[in-house]
A = this chain, B = another copy of it.
Amino acid sequence: MLERIRIVLIGTSHPGNIGGTARAMHNMGLTDLALVAPRCEVLTADSVSRASGADHLVHGARVVETLEAAVADCTLVVGASARSRTLPWPMISPRQLGERLPAELAAPKARIALVFGREDSGLSNAELQRCHAHVHIPANPEFSSLNLATAVQVLAYECRLAWLDQQQDDDALPPMGMTETAPPASHADLERYFEHLERTLITIGFHDPATPRQLMARLRRLMMRARPDSMEVNILRGILSATEKQAEAARRREG
């Protein structure tokens, strides 16, 4: 289970925090680290020293340019967020995240990304809107910004507790049958659907990117809540294709 939980750091500026993250991950048994467009050197004396023996995770970290590339294969993407945003998103606590892990990772291909933002400014709204849910570490409202590696530690700790719980349960109970009817949709499937959706809404004149009025964010939030599986995404895209055909036929009439 733990090997299918990826820690994703976006735009990190201090190598020490990358090393500290590696140490926290290895302490808790996590192994999969991705760095999105780091704003610092990754392998430095500071990152190796803070990793304190877990520098193999820094060496092995995948460095990519976009969040997209870091989470494309993930079936659940959770963003760490301290702030409440203009458009509220499903919000879970670190403990609730841990409690949901066994079910979320039941399907063999399921994979989870925990996404952490920049030291100074966190995650952008666009990044937050690519997440199924946001996780908030309950902190002193007057001093709520945790050190990056420390925030990773808290979530990794909850992941480990959930995993230890499951080990205990597995010893006692036979595993339950799979309830999934279709494999979960990956992040990339979902993003292709959202692109298709936006294109179609523009085509039928429902959406004007010049005056977006948060339409796409609202539709994203709605569909992310539903957690469509891959068959459902196929159905939704089939509907979009059929809609586009109608719009095309209508345009030919006008043309």
Contacts and interface: CB of A to CB of B under 8 A. Distances in A.
Interface of A: 20, 23-24, 26-29, 50, 52-54, 84, 87-96, 136-140, 143-147, 149-150, 153-154, 157, 160-161, 164, 176-179, 181, 201, 204-206, 215, 218-219, 222-223, 225-228, 231-232, 235-236, 238-239, 242-243, 245-250, 252-254
Nearest to A90: B178
Contacts of A236: 222
Contact of A164 (B138, B147, B249, B250): B138
Contacts of A153: 146, 150, 153-154
Contacts of A201: 239, 242
A137 B239 CA distance: 37
A67 to B, nearest CB: 22
A176 B27 contact: no
Contacts of A222: 226, 228, 232, 236
Given A138-B161, A178-B90, A246 B204 contact: yes
A142 B145 CA distance: 30
A157 B29 CA distance: 19
A253 B231 CA distance: 33
A58 to B, nearest CB: 14
Contacts of A177: 90-91
A204 B146 contact: no
A71 to B, nearest CB: 21
A144 to B, nearest CB: 7
B242 A246 contact: no
Contacts of A204: 239, 242-243, 245-246
Contacts of A160: 138-139
B143 A26 contact: yes
Return the 7 tightest CB-CB contacts between A and B, nearest first: A253-B253, A249-B250, A226-B226, A206-B242, A88-B179, A250-B250, A225-B226
A153 to B, nearest CB: 5
Contact of A89 (B84, B143, B178, B239): B178
Contacts of A226: 222-223, 225-226
Nearest to A89: B178
